[in-house]
Chain A
Amino acid sequence: LDPGRHDGTGSLLKIGGKAATSPAENYHLARRRTLQVVVSALLTECGFESAEKAAVETLTEMMQSYITEIGRCAKAYCEHTARSIPTLSDTVVTLIEMGFKADTLPVYAKRSQRMVITAPPVTNAPVTPKALSAGQKRTHPAHIPGHFPEFPDPHTYIKTPTFREPVSDYQVVREKAASQRRDVERALTRFMAKTGETHSLFKDDITAFPLIAAQPSTIPYLSALLPSELELQTLEETDSSEQDDQTDSENAAGNIISDDPGADKENSMLPPGGVVPSAKASEDNVIDNPYLRPVKKPKVRRKK
């Protein structure tokens, strides 16, 4: 009995509904079919003339489990005694352990009404795929006996440096940077073009030179005037830190206003956010600008 069997059947059950195609699956299917034949034969022996498919299936399953359990136990016994291949006695002990009278087995096997089942078709046992070997396996050093297991693949325990000497040639660097950026841009725009609507310049081949379709925006001036995030980023990188701070605070001031229109509305008695504090910070004297003055409450008598 194959100890790996269990796993095999497990996966078999899972994919039972699908058309099995791989050799390993074929192998398992054939075994299972044999088991089914056995079950059917036993049922016939017991006097059944027909059986529901589900019943046969259940019995097959039970039988398979039983056999599997025998195999598993036998292997356990054998490993208990520090061996790797089960012997007959392991199997016998197992059967006994499982409450089966082992001595009845020969009689049963030789009973007269037993049906002879044709041998299962010869199918190739599944080949376990070779583990991917990477690199040269190391041979044992002199102080380790030869029967010891081989070393695993080197990458599993040896640090492999992937570092290469950087190319410092200016021309190549520029060349690379340029083509890299171009490739990224091209890939990105192609992707965008493929996922969205496009214009095409040619009628015969609409996939050549796809242009991302123009989408009107509701407030077109915003995107056209405000620097893009990328530009802001490069600005921050190139600018001195002093300027950095300034733009940051400016942005923050702008954001307060745009992010929080509700609060702004409530506070509209106060000057709109950001302006006064920053102005005050820079100047000591208080700015008297009519637009910064608080909005007056209506007079009760006032009629509009």
Chain B
Amino acid sequence: MNRKKDKAFESPRPFKLTHQVVCINNINFQRKSVIGFVELTIFPTVVNLNRIKLNSKQCRIYRVRVNELEAPFIYNDPTLEVCHHESKQRNLNYFSSAYTAAVSAVDPDAGHGELVIKVPSELWKQDDLKVLKVYIEFSLDQPKGGLHFVVPDVEGSMAERGAHVFSFGYQNSTRFWFPCVDSYSELCTWKLEFTVDASMVAVSCGDLVETIYTPDMRKKTFHYVLPIPTAAPNISLSVGPFEILVDPYMHEVTHFCLPQLLPLLKHSMSYLHEIFEFYEEILTCRYPYACFKTVFVDEAYVQVSSYASMSIFSTNLLHSAMIIDQTPLTRRCLAQALAQQFFGCFISRMSWADEWVLKGISGYIYGLYLKKTFGVNEYRHWIKEELDKIVEYELKMGGVLLHPTFSGVKEKDNPTPHLHFSIKHPHTLSWEYYKMFQCKAHLVMRLIENRISMEFMLQVFNKLLSLASTASSQKYQSHMWSQMLLSTHAFLKSISNVSGKDIGPLIKQWVDQSAVVKFFGSFAFNRKRNVLELEIRQDYTSSGTQKYVGPIKVTVQELDGSFNHTLQIEENSLKHDIPCHSKSRRNKKKKIPLMNGEEVDMDLSAMDADSPLLWIRIDPDMSILRKVEFEQADFMWQYQLRYERDVVAQEESISALEKFPTPASRLALTDILEQEQCFYKVRMQACFCLAKIANAMVSTWQGPPAMKSLFTRMFCCKSCPNIVKTNNFLSFQSYFLQKTMPVAMALLRDVQNLCPKDVLNFILDLIKYNDNRKNKFSDNFYRAELIEALTNSLTPAISINNEVRTVDNLNADVRLILEEITRFLNMEKLLPSFRNTITVSCLSAIRQLQKNGHIPSDASLFKSYAEYGHFVDVRVAALEALVDYTRVERSSADLQWLLNMVQNDPAHYVRHKILGMLCKNPPFNKATDSALCNEALVDQLWKLMNSGTSHDWRLRCDAVNLYYTLFGLTRPSCLPLPELGLVLNLKEKKAVLNPTIKPELGVSSVMDTPASIGIHGVGMSYSSVSGVPSMGLKRKAETPLGSPPEPGQVLQQQEEDARGGRYKIRFNTMEDEDIDMETVHDSQAFIHHHLNLLERPSTPGKEPPSVEQSMLSMPATPVPSFPKETTSSSSKHGHKKKKKKHKHKHKHKHKHESKEKDRERDNSHAYSNSPASGRSLRSPSLSD
């Protein structure tokens, strides 16, 4: 296994970076441009270091000097355009492998980079290893990624306008704004200088040493020094007219916010020191950096991003003392940011495969903070929520693998065949997957804690931190700094040293393998033997599941008390006998002891007289990543809800009770609702369950609508029960309940499936009598929930032969609702609420009214709210409505409008969000036919992911996701049929219909669809077969023996069979070849990659630049290179399709010309960031 090897860190580079200077001396807000230089001090680790590969994207590089000597360089970014040639290939398998290859080709963790600098021969031809200083001048003009400029379009100077700029990115994205080694594992010390307008502040990593005016006194230069070795991805910058707040508790902490927000900043940050204290205490370690800065910016990419000694937050996290709901959210974000300062920024990861450790630890200590601040209930609730999330995701999408091991030799070796993207690089990962990855990582850390105890866990962290801080204070020595890099291996070793326990099986189960466990449990009570016969079955065949073998805890609450049992889940034992302690019903009067030692009276009349069992819980501590479906009688669930003190148990029983709509369930839920000691989130959940039960019991329901009398009792005036008390939100628990109950009540339906009239009137009265004048807190979230309640009360309109909706035939109730919404929405213009929550609710209400046919469906309102210039929450709400509109109305114009916004909107978050929402609520999907699905759309989306989103990894992956959602992995069904119709299967000696033509039957059936790539590749297909061992075998070996194959595996096997029998070439009637795309291309990539590796050192800068460039760019774009090469090789085979070949050559010629023009423009340097130019030169060079 890979992990065994990485004991000592081996740099993939032939040099070591020791120090880097970044100097940005001009930031132009008007033009959105940046000019500066970097100077990297590198120490060669091999003699004859003749090339230096660095990362740089979208920067324009003017000159490169190495030790004062001009050095030629080549700039080639294969990720700009992933698939080059204009083939009609439009399948995602092809794209994904090409994209992975492109990312690999410039992966700094493999020692690659976009920028290749030729070291002048004077410098490397001597034998001694001398320090090299690489000086690079660069500029950025209107960067699309890396740096984000926010320049409000108003009068005044840039400072008055609140213009600011900040760095951002997903994972290692620093290369977008200055040339560097963009790897988390290449640490160096930093000197950062930023010259900005005198009215602005530049905040960056490290210690601000001094601020000096420029000679003309109109600008000032901020000098930062970061003496702690830090990786380039952890460097950030933000410049703006920030207001400065020195933390009153910790003077080395400084907060920055945009003009006018200082009061909010003061309030929001008043809590930060407690988080600091907490982490320093549990880790028994000082905060590693000398200072900490928080910057709050507009249009943030993510809510929280952590960099060395600073964090950049979304300005929307700031709030005043009047806001309840935002406070815990903001504190959580602060705590997350700070946890990542220790693990993520200070301690960095060794490789991408070790990412889980850092995310896991930071997530884990963040969880400890949650436990301390918000209480154990909140913590356990959060763990359950996270567990449910990851279980749901894995069961739906397939497993999430924390520690992918790549055997390194074969690119094709994909440990996660069920995914439509590669998990080999962070940049090819879908955002959703990455979120789940983080979620799983911290859950696994918790599992480790369960195993070795929290004390040991914290000792391990402390050890890692002290090792790192010792290393960080050292001057550069060859291997010391690598102590600051954390690998899976080092982490596990540390755990075994500290705790002496072997957690190997745990790691193997949850870290080296993907997927979760799915249990089904049921039981019977054997009265004669007084034994509980528990049956626990597993589903490990469906996707996203794995088999669990090992201990499992079962808690049984009997009449005499609560007992824990640890059972062993083994290969084929399903049944477990658990002896019971109590005889059934010996003393009725006795109090019943609970798990926590409490003794309670219970009304035992509901239970089975023969059995002493009150309730049973499987894995109550959530020490397995699992989903449990347990069957027990309704009264047991009710007892569990009422008397079990664990919030997780209560929540589980609430969701189970949904299936038991009986008066007893109703009573149990109502009791919980009324119980003030009960955790408020449980009570909130009980509201919704009660609504569901009430609806199921609609014909037998007695009394007023569910929750109405309860709400009246809790929140209405004693003298006049129809009027709600004036708001007083001092008790947050009842505030949250007051917010939730109307929303749940509105879900009630009567026999006609309408919302009962008195419920609607009740909600309208709540709105009418809502009075916040005496309240210390803002009621905007409450009012927003009331609007949501109105929305929930809507039911589809009765429509008579599709008449057009007019004002006159508006339902009377709906008219009332609409009036409220209109008034709310209009009032919001005059008195906007915090984060415009009311507008957000109103927009979704209007969409619901449209969708239910009460008012005419119309997108123009949403479009106007979705425009740039509204508050981001409002935009997202409007866009969500638009996405829904697009799906329901199948409007291609609106889909275009959305896609247009994806391409052009200034706010990165909004672009990301649109694609995310389109994936969640797609206008159509691969299984359905739709008029929207046409060739133009395929082309558009293809272009979007192929070249349109090269500036933002996250967005590109979003686009890939959307493409997958809409068209699946294979050729989109709306494209015209490929020319080949039949495929000859030589092994089975029969011709089959080309699988690309077959309609897709679901993911599983199409994994092995050979895509047509037209005439190219006659010869190549042979070579690739011989060159590549079959991958299916490898994967199969990894799965446990005897387990039924996963869907993906089955296909791999088919693929393999087919490969063996078909000899890779399938002739068809149209005399085209059909080759197995995936394999061939991957092998191609691999071969080129290695050829290139071999060739590079032996050709030290003597070949003409054109050849050199083509060669160097080859690993970058191995896949696209394939067809070109085969053009030449197919000429040897010399038969078919002269015409097409001719056309192809013509294209080459054309590109030659364009390249020449490029070269003229860039005269001296071989500078070109055009992928087209890089490609055009390749084929001649290869045919030579």
Contacts and interface: CB of A to CB of B under 8 A. Distances in A.
Interface of A: 170-171, 174-175, 177-179, 182, 185-186, 188-189, 192-193, 199, 201-205, 208-228, 230-231, 234-235, 237-239, 247, 250-251, 253-254, 257-258, 261, 264-265, 268, 271-272, 274-275, 279, 282-283, 287-293, 295-299, 302, 304
B509 interface: no
Given A214-B870, A268-B198, A192 B829 contact: yes
B609 interface: no
Most buried by B among A217, A224, A230: A224
A291 B822 contact: no
22 contacts: A202-B806, A204-B804, A208-B807, A211-B822, A214-B864, A216-B868, A224-B316, A224-B836, A224-B871, A225-B264, A228-B832, A251-B263, A261-B160, A279-B246, A289-B251, A289-B252, A295-B198, A295-B220, A298-B212, A298-B214, A298-B215, A302-B212
Given A220-B870, A238-B774, A264-B199, A209 B818 contact: yes
Interface string B837-868: 00000000010010000011010110011011
Nearest to A220: B871
Please name the 4 residue pairs, one residue from A and one from B, whose CB atoms are nearest each other, closest first: A216-B869, A189-B826, A290-B208, A224-B871
Contacts of B835: 224-225
Given A192-B830, A257-B259, A265 B254 contact: no
B974 interface: no
A224 B213 contact: no
Contacts of B266: 250
Contacts of A290: 207-211, 291
Given A224-B835, A264-B199, A275-B246, 8 more contacts: A170-B717, A182-B823, A188-B827, A189-B823, A227-B322, A279-B248, A283-B248, A290-B211
B771 A178 contact: yes
A255 to B, nearest CB: 9
A186 to B, nearest CB: 6
B25 A235 contact: no
B720 A304 contact: no
A221 B872 CA distance: 8
Nearest to B267: A250
A174 B849 CA distance: 30
B747 interface: no
A182 B807 contact: no
B213 A296 contact: yes
B863 to A, nearest CB: 10
A185 B771 CA distance: 14
A118 B302 CA distance: 98
Contacts of B220: 268, 295
A201 B871 contact: no
B251 A174 contact: no
Interface string B160-177: 111000000000000000
B768 interface: yes
Contact of A254 (B260, B322, B856): B260
Contacts of A237: 773
Contacts of A192: 826, 829-830
Contacts of B195: 304
B822 A209 contact: yes
A301 B591 CA distance: 88
Interface size bucket, B side?
Answer: 35 or more
A24 B243 CA distance: 73
Interface of B: 25, 152-154, 156-157, 159-162, 195, 198-199, 201, 207-215, 217, 220-221, 243-246, 248, 251-252, 254, 258-264, 266, 291, 298, 315-316, 318-322, 717, 719-720, 723, 768-769, 771-776, 778, 804-807, 818-819, 822-823, 825-827, 829-836, 846, 849, 855-856, 858, 860-861, 864-865, 867-874
A217 B869 CA distance: 5
A219 B246 contact: no
Given A177-B771, A213-B864, A261-B159, A289 B254 contact: yes
Given A219-B154, A275-B244, A291 B315 contact: no
B867 A216 contact: yes
B210 A231 contact: no
A170 B720 CA distance: 8
Contact of A223 (B212, B248, B320, B832): B832
Nearest to A228: B831
Contacts of B316: 221, 224-225
A12 B858 CA distance: 61
Given A265-B159, A304-B195, A250 B262 contact: yes
Given A257-B243, A290-B209, A227 B778 contact: yes
A204 B864 contact: no
B834 A225 contact: yes
B260 A222 contact: yes
A41 to B, nearest CB: 70
B248 to A, nearest CB: 7
A157 B1101 CA distance: 112
A232 to B, nearest CB: 9
A188 B161 CA distance: 31
Nearest to A233: B773
A244 to B, nearest CB: 12
Contacts of A185: 823, 827
A274 B835 CA distance: 27
A239 B321 CA distance: 11
Contacts of A174: 717, 720, 723, 769, 771
A220 B299 CA distance: 10
Given A170-B717, A201-B856, A202-B806, A218 B153 contact: yes
Nearest to A190: B826
B807 A202 contact: yes
Contacts of B778: 227, 231
Nearest to A224: B871
A209 to B, nearest CB: 5
Contacts of B846: 201
A96 to B, nearest CB: 76
A49 to B, nearest CB: 74
B73 to A, nearest CB: 25
B198 A265 contact: yes
Nearest to B836: A224
B220 to A, nearest CB: 5
A189 to B, nearest CB: 4
Given A185-B827, A225-B264, A292 B246 contact: yes
